[in-house]
């Protein structure tokens, strides 16, 4: 719930997150495309007041995991009036029966979780019908299941190139923006580079080689609150950060509703409790 002092906390947490983004950019190889990473603030379960406050602090890109929650927030009168330049990202599992509802969202900037050619076809035809008066194509990313976990959504890596070919050639209402992955939670970066990130990097290279696309035209959405700095260091152009900015999520009938540390403090170190929780979450957690 919104409380006195939260405005300052969100501002400090956002600044801390951006500082860490910029520091990670400074550490990455000069051989990587010089694309400034986009910070997507994941506002799942958070009230409109927190979205508005983050917007006032300069944040423009926000992510939601559930279609109904995104529809409610994006249509909220206060958000519409206070956040005219907001850009919404859908980052959760998308079912075909929810496509029309999602595509009606005001200020929808990108759908990051298209995970099949069939879903791309559905999104394409729906966008053509719903936005017939507009020539603007919808930005989408292709979600890849880089870890091979059954609990994760996404296309098998070996199907990436053909799926991108289909989107580029057949889905004329869509703009292929890049590749996205959730990846396995809790990987120990002290042991090696994250294999999920490396897999997404290799798939981008294959896509660019096969379709003759410039590397800088294919974004990589990877990295969340616990590993976004490493993701940026190896080439992420889009990172999805939630709890570091907004604090623990408020789930009904959950211990998460008890008082928690400020977002500023949480942005410094991911707590053991949050790390354990991430190990059990699927695509819906960022």
The pLDDT tens digits of the residues spanning 215-232 come to: 999 999 999 998 999 999
Distance CA 243, CA 222 (A): 16
Q: So what's the pLDDT on residue 249?
A: 73
User: Is pLDDT of 208 > 70?
Assistant: yes
Sequence-ordered strand ranges (E) for the chain: 38-42, 61-64, 87-90, 108-114, 138-143, 174-180, 219-221, 238-241
Distance CA 176, CA 127 (A): 14
H or E stretch at 274: helix 272-279
Q: So what's the pLDDT on residue 14?
A: 96
Q: What long-range pairs does 108-112 form, CB within 8 A, spacing at least 24?
A: 108/74, 108/138, 109/61, 109/139, 110/138, 110/139, 110/140, 110/141, 110/177, 111/138, 111/139, 111/140, 111/141, 112/63, 112/140, 112/141, 112/143, 112/180, 112/221, 112/238
16, 38, 73, 123, 164 from 63: Cα distances, Å: 19, 12, 11, 18, 23
pTM: 0.85
Mean pLDDT, range 24-32, rounded to an integer: 90
pLDDT band for position 189 (cuts 50, 70, 90): low
* For the chain, percent of residues with pLDDT exceeding 70: 84
User: What pLDDT digit, counting tens, does each position of 102-161 carry?
Assistant: 999 999 999 999 999 999 999 999 999 988 777 799 999 999 999 988 888 999 999 999
Cβ-contact 237, 243 below 8 angstroms: no
Tokens describing residue 60: 């423009």
Q: So what's the pLDDT on residue 253?
A: 56
Query: Which 3 state secondary structure label does DSSP give 73?
Result: helix
Distance CA 195, CA 189 (A): 10
pLDDT band for position 279 (cuts 50, 70, 90): very low
Distance CA 142, CA 221 (A): 10
pLDDT band for position 252 (cuts 50, 70, 90): low
Partners of 62 in beta bridges: 41, 88
DSSP 92: S
């Amino acid at each position: 719930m919104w409380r006195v002092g939260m405005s300052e906390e969100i501002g400090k947490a956002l600044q801390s997150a951006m500082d860490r983004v910029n520091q990670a950019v400074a550490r990455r190889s000069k051989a990587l495309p010089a694309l400034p990473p986009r910070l997507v603030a994941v506002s799942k379960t958070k009230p409109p007041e927190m979205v508005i406050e983050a917007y006032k602090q300069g944040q423009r890109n926000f992510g939601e995991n559930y279609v109904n929650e995104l529809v409610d927030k994006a249509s909220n009168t206060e958000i519409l009036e206070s956040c005219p330049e907001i850009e919404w990202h859908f980052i959760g599992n998308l079912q075909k029966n929810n496509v029309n509802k999602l595509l009606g969202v005001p200020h929808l900037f990108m759908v990051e979780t298209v995970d099949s050619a069939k879903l791309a076809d559905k999104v394409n035809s729906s966008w053509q019908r719903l936005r017939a008066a507009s020539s603007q194509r919808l930005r989408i990313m292709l979600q890849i299941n880089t870890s091979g976990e059954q609990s994760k959504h996404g296309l098998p890596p070996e199907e990436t190139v053909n799926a991108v070919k289909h989107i580029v050639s057949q889905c004329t209402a869509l703009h292929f923006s890049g590749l996205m992955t959730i990846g396995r939670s809790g990987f120990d970066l002290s042991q090696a580079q994250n294999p999920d990130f490396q897999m997404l990097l290799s798939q981008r290279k294959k896509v660019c080689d096969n379709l003759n696309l410039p590397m800088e035209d294919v974004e990589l959405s990877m990295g969340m609150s616990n590993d976004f700095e490493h993701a940026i260091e190896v080439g992420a152009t889009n990172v999805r950060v939630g709890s570091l900015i907004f604090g623990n999520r408020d789930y009904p009938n959950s211990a998460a509703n008890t008082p928690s540390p400020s977002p500023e403090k949480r942005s410094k170190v991911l707590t053991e409790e949050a790390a354990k929780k991430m190990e059990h979450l699927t695509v819906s957690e960022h």
